């Protein structure tokens, strides 16, 4: 009985999160901060879901209730989803690394220009 109550509240909270994500995705003309806030909410929803999955997978009392076929299907779908997510993660990480190195180089060049301004130079 206790698992039914927990599961029902989990489902309701997950449905609310899905609705909020749907509303965020449908919003037009979000500024940069709103986009970052939206990504934060979406990733926190994913994090919450992952924690729930880990709780289930680590609990033999729950996992024993699933057939081998059900476990096989869960495994297949999770593998597909996670592979696509990791591919995207790698793509964005590469993009961020390029942007970061460009930013660092621009900062160094600006600092070098400041150091070399005529009023700062001293020649013997």
Under 8 Å between Cβ of 53 and 81: no
Q: How far apart are CA 32 and CA 30, in angstroms?
A: 7
- In 3D, which of 3, 2, 44, 51 has the Cα closest to residue 20? 44
> Is 121's pLDDT higher than 70?
no
**pLDDT level of residue 33 (50, 70, 90 thresholds):** very high
Mean pLDDT over all residues of the chain? 88
Residue the block writes with tokens 């994090």:
47
Whether residue 76 is predicted with pLDDT greater than 60 in this model: the reply is yes
> Minimal CA–CA distance to 56: which of 5, 6, 14, 12?
6
Q: What is the domain partition of the chain in residue ranges? A: 1-65, 66-124
């Amino acid at each position: 009985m206790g698992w039914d109550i927990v599961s029902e509240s989990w489902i309701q909270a997950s449905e609310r999160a899905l609705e909020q994500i749907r509303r965020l995705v449908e919003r037009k003309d979000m500024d940069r901060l709103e986009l970052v806030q939206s990504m934060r909410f979406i990733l926190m929803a994913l994090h919450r879901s992952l924690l729930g999955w880990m709780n289930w997978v680590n609990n033999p009392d729950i996992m024993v209730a699933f057939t081998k076929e059900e476990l096989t299907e869960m495994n297949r779908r999770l593998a597909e989803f996670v592979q696509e997510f990791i591919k995207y993660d790698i793509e964005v990480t590469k993009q961020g690394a390029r942007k970061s190195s460009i930013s660092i180089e621009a900062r160094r060049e600006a600092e070098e220009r400041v150091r070399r301004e005529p009023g700062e130079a001293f020649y013997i």
